[in-house]
Amino acid sequence: MIRIPYLVIALAGALFAAGARAEPPVDVARARQIATQHACFGCHAVDKKLVGPAWRDVAARYAGKPGAAATLVAHIQNGSSGSWGAVPMPPNAISAGDAQTVVQWILAGNKTE
């Protein structure tokens, strides 16, 4: 009988579980379309601060934080203030699914393709 060390089994299980929770690929074209439709680019740019923070800065601040996507979706839908300075972000009439698509794109580094 072959004995497999517990650590190997635990590591294999952790890797399998991590793979099962992997995020689906980002639909860049759709995310950009939604952001354009909802005038997000009027206040945000990918790589520089406009009225609001650059999306690369948002991605860096929220990288690896539990619940980051849900927090950002709530900020988009409900508005927020004080997170990035004195200028408040107004609420946006956007569905949760569309907001999630944009947030997924932002957190993935807002690639253009």
Mind spelling out the 3-state secondary structure of the chain?
CCCCCHHHHHHHHHHHHHHHCCCCCCCHHHHHHHHHHCCHHHCECCCCECCCCCHHHHHHHHCCCCCHHHHHHHHHHHCECCCCCCCCECCCCCCHHHHHHHHHHHHCCCCCC
44 annotated to bind ligand: yes
1 annotated to bind ligand: no
43 annotated to bind ligand: no
Binding site for heme c: residue ranges? 40, 44, 89
Binding site: residue ranges? 40, 44, 89
